[in-house]
Structure 1
Amino acid sequence: MTSAAKPGLIERVARSRFIVPYIVGFALFMQMLDSTVIAMALPDMARSLNADPVRLNIAITSYLLSVSVFIPVSGWVADRFGARNVFVAAIVLFTVSSVFCGLAGSLGELVAARLAQGVAGAMMVPVGRIVMLRSVSKADLMQATTYLTLPALLGPVLGPPVGGFITTFGSWRWIFLMNVPVGVIGVVLALTFIRNTREDGVPPLDVRGFVLTGVALACLVLGFETLGHGAISWQFSTLVLLVGLVCALLYVHHARRTLHPVVDFGLMRIRTFRASIVGGNLCRFDVGAAPFLMALLLQVVMGMSPFAAGMITFTGATGAIMAKILITPVFRRFGFRLVLTANAVMVALTIVACAALTPLTPQSVIMIVLFVGGMFRSLQLTGVNALVYADIPPERMSSANTLSSMLQQVAFSMGVSIAALAIQASMTARGAATISIVDIRAGFIVLALLAAASAISFLRLPPRAGEEVSRGRTGAMEASVSDGHA
């Protein structure tokens, strides 16, 4: 063979079935790490910007609200302007807004930059997932999903040690500025290896639906966030939640009378989709709340520094990475129904094991518990993230991705709120004013019960549910569609 006939490096990489999931996972990791690192830097940021640390929490809240408002329209934008175009534009906006965050000289400038960053995040991850769904077959979806699930697990675990290191040995501004080289690499990779696709005959944007879903999602996320952190009175949080619920109900009524609603709740009639949303979000409560509870346990109860605690929780990320080699063979051998049902119980047991930790527990035992928990959590989230698209026809992939992303956003916010409420209830029952290990255990136990309850959703699946994804076989989609009761 002549040298001219040999494919170049770019051509060889482009032939890889999983180069697109790697690129999208790269972007997701950037977003997840940025979202978790900032919490560690709030005290230093407050001193630098001459702002109260409590008020500076708006830098986190503003980002979450911006993401919440624009997630519902992400699928329509991708169909209208091309998934790759929107994905690349989102990475560029995320990178540029990160620079403005790093250069901010006041709280107002930081919040404005975080709002722009939230718009980018609302497009970057959901649209990136659409790019992935259009680039792989359903037979390869399980393997591809693995590369997207890992960043979601690694970000919350790596955030504390990275944030602690940066704020201890450098400036908080590098939390945002380090996104610049990552963003540049992401844009180059996306433009090189991702084909631009757009749908023909895209209907007009459902403006009324967009407003209702945006307000509903923003209010629900804000309500759960403020309820969980206790920064605002519970009466205000409850009022915001009620406004969100009313807007959600108004949207459901609107969607039934609209030909092309911005969010298609009719997808909930597909059994595999419904099980993934209901059961998967019960498990996602733990993903959102576990870092919060472990930080309290290791730092408040055990007296560790943020950096030392972060280095211990890093073992959970190691477990998630190790589980990657097992995921595809396990689901191929046993199928979605058996694996997700049994693994939901195992996830619950690992959460209970966290509740059993005490200041006298050797650090090696803590690390083993977190390592095993990371493995089971990685297996579960990869499974539900693949199953959610198992029986979705190609023309409804964007709608399914939008609805799934919306509900995941609410689930992550609810996780911390549920854990915080459990802690508060335990303190009230004890008549205590300060938190103790008993209260943290209450939070873990509640999360464990919810994770175990998710098994019910998976147990109701047909035995061969999602076989085309788990085993590369064509299954009867009709068997996975319910009789119409969502």
Structure 2
Amino acid sequence: MNATPSHQALQPEFRLLVLLVSIGFFMQGLDTTIVNTAIPSMAVHLNEDPLNMHSVVVAYVLSVAACIPLSGWLADRFGARNIYFSAIIIFTLASLGCGQSDSLNELLFYRVLQGIGGALLLPVGRLAMLKVIPRAQFLSAMSLMSLAGLIGPLIGPTLGGWLVEVTTWHWIFLINIPMGVLGCLITFKAMPNVTEPTVPRFDFWGFFLLVIAMTGLSLGIENFTSTSHSLYWSIGLICAGVVACITYALHSHNHQNALFRSKMFRNKIYALGVLGNFFARLGGNAMPFLIPLMLQVAFGFKPFVTGLLMIPIVLGALASKPLIRPIIQRFGYRNVLLVNTLLVGACIASFALSSADTPIWLRTLHFFIFGMLNSLQFVSMNTLTLKDLPQQDASSGNSFLSMIMMVSMSIGVALAGTLVNVFSAYFDAIHLTSAFHATLICLGCINIITALIFWQIPKDTAV
């Protein structure tokens, strides 16, 4: 049967470009997840408390979030190929720096650079595909590329656990180097340097306010229990973040060339979707960091076994994909998000019932169910948020949503790390498992409360 004109098979001349973008997508997806199972081993080598190592994750995710608004403008101004090549170089050299680090501060510096490179890889690669590949073949190209995005998180935790057992944690970063070199070699052959003839001035003032807002809120929460900074320092950072948020809101309303105009939020569905995305992802995005830490530090599991136990979460997410559309069509966005938000919150809190003696089959089933529910949550929220945006706001709205998703991950991980430290001080070190359980209950409750946001979705919202 021939492909319809609206969905054609990808032609050979575009396959190399899709491979190139897939390499970047794979590197970013792998690097986001491979660190989680290696954190306790990294802490031992760097003479740090593993409960204070969440900054390794936060530094990367926060720098990705901060640079997302910059990616599209840079590609339009200087060319997609030049920016993509620069991103791979930055990411690869930063990976080398991470692999050579001997202190936490040095590692954090290179993780920030890595995040800057990672922030440019996927958006610029996707933009190049959109501009070069005919629209009829774009769906096929995106489907092929998405496989790379699934493989990275699937193998990341297990590969990270295996590497720290057979070699050292440094190799979780050094394995990026061959992929980066391959990407550099392909870039100039596969990707044309497409630019835009007219590019508006970049909103540097708005960008600065957004960076202050994201950094202040994330680092303020992260340093709340830090012994090297006073409580007033954390409160000051959080206040600076809140002030920057309010200032940007005014800026986006009055500035004609603002990165994200306030008029987008007149769309009630988009506003509710963004708000729901932020709060509903705090718990879900913290789990890939928190669960491996609990399994190793509190339960005494080996890194490789911990990585293997993370696979059911990804398999659950994959298994849910064919079910999401029929479920939403049958019950509608409002009902699905109301019920599923409560289920995700209850599932997160229910991890507090697990212990080192929990049977493997039950733990595996638990992770699989969480993966299914979390995937349904994320896909439903994303499609609801973007579905009614007018065409002229689609690009800006999608970029803002992507930034919110990464900020939520950054704050979620920072919050999880802070809560574990607070509860470990309360319960004492010998009751570390209780500290993790209390943290899981708190994160689950945040998710359950988020259902109040989705309650505001109009009952007649079309699918």
TM-score by length of 1: 0.77
Tell me what 1:461 maps to: 457
Paired AA for residue 298 in structure 1 = L
* Residue of structure 1 equivalent to 2:318: 321
Confirm whether residue 264 of structure 1 aligns to residue 273 of structure 2: no
With over 3 angstroms needed to count, the CA separation of the structure-2 counterparts of 1:84 and 1:450, relative to structure 1, is farther
Percent identity over the alignment is 33
Kept in 2: contact 1:74–1:402 (CA 8 A): no
Residue identity matched to 2:448:
A
Deviation at 1:321, TM superposition (A): 1.8
Tell me if 1:53 matches 2:44. no
Question: How many correspondences in the alignment?
Answer: 451
Q: Indicate how the Cα distance of structure 1 residues 435 and 196 shifts in structure 2: closer, same or farther if over 3 A, else same.
A: farther
1:124 and 2:121 are equivalent in the alignment: yes
Question: 1:229, CA displacement in angstroms?
Answer: 7.3
Shift of 1:390: 1.6
Offset at 1:332? 4.3
Residue aligning to 1:250: 247
Q: Is this contact kept in 2: 1:293–1:443, CA < 8 A?
A: no
- Cα distance per residue 1:235-269 (max 9 Å; x no partner): 32222222222222222233333111123343222
Report the residue type matching 2:386 in the other structure.
Y
Evaluate the alpha carbon distance shift between residue 285 and residue 29 of structure 1 in structure 2; reply closer, same or farther with a 3 A threshold: farther
Q: Are positions 1:386 and 2:383 aligned together?
A: yes
Measured after TM superposition, the shift of residue 100 of structure 1 is: 4.2
- Whole-angstrom CA distance in 2 between matches of 1:321 and 1:105: 38
CA distance in 1, matches of 2:248, 2:455: 31
How is 1:52-91 mapped onto 2 (pairs within 5 angstroms)?
Answer: 52-53=47-48, 62-64=59-61, 66-83=63-80, 86-91=83-88
Q: Deviations over 1:376-412 (max 9, x none)?
A: 1112212222333222333333322332233222211
Deviation for aligned residue 1:153: 10
Q: Distance in 2 between matches of 1:76 and 1:217?
A: 20
SS in 1 for 2:77: helix
Aligned 8 A contact 1:153 1:287 in 2: no
Residue 232 of structure 2 corresponds to residue 235 of structure 1: yes
Deviates more, 1:324-333 or 1:190-199: 190-199
The CA deviation at 1:120 is 0.9
Q: Which residue of 1 is the match for residue 446 of structure 2?
A: 450
Q: Structure 2 counterpart of 1:215, which letter?
A: I
Q: Distance in 2 between the 1:173 and 1:299 partners?
A: 19
Over residues 73-128 of structure 1, what are the superposed CA-to-partner deviations in whole Å (9 max), with x where a residue is unaligned? Answer: 23332443455653454234323432344356777765554343222122223444
Residue 164 of structure 2 aligns with an amino acid whose one-letter code is T
Q: Deviations over 1:206-258 (max 9, x none)?
A: 22222222222222222233337777544322222222222222222333331
Q: Matches of 1:457 and 1:77 in 2, distance apart?
A: 35
Q: Are 1:368 and 2:365 counterparts?
A: yes
CA change 1:465–1:84 in 2 (3 A) is: farther
Q: Spell out, residue by residue over 1:106-160, the C-alpha distance to the aligned partner (whole angstroms, 9 max, x if none).
A: 777655543432221222234445567777989x98x9699759948963x7544
> Which residue pairs with 2:287 in the alignment?
290
d(CA) in 2 for partners of 1:89, 1:450 = 39
Aligned residue number for residue 307 of structure 1: 304
Tell me the distance in 2 between the aligned counterparts of 1:214 and 1:253: 16
1:275 aligns with: 272
Task: Give the C-alpha shift of residue 347 in structure 1.
Answer: 1.6
Distance 2:303 2:34 in 1: 12
More displaced stretch, 345-354 vs 360-369: 345-354
The one-letter amino acid paired with 1:457 is: I
Cα separation, 2, equivalents of 1:146 and 1:387:
24
| 1:305 to 1:247, Cα distance in 2 relative to 1, 3 A | same
Unpaired segments of 5 or more residues in structure 1? 1-8, 468-486
Task: Give the Cα separation in 1 of the matches to 2:420 and 2:43.
Answer: 27
SS at match of 2:386: coil
Letter in 1 for 2:310: T
2:69–2:399 contact (8 Å) kept in structure 1: yes
Q: Distance in 1 between the 2:462 and 2:126 partners?
A: 19
Q: Give the aligned CA root-mean-square deviation in angstroms.
A: 4.1
Unaligned 5+ segments in structure 2 are 1-8
| Alpha-carbon shift at residue 193 of structure 1 (Å) | 7.4
CA separation of 1:465 and 1:242: change in aligned 2, threshold 3 A: same
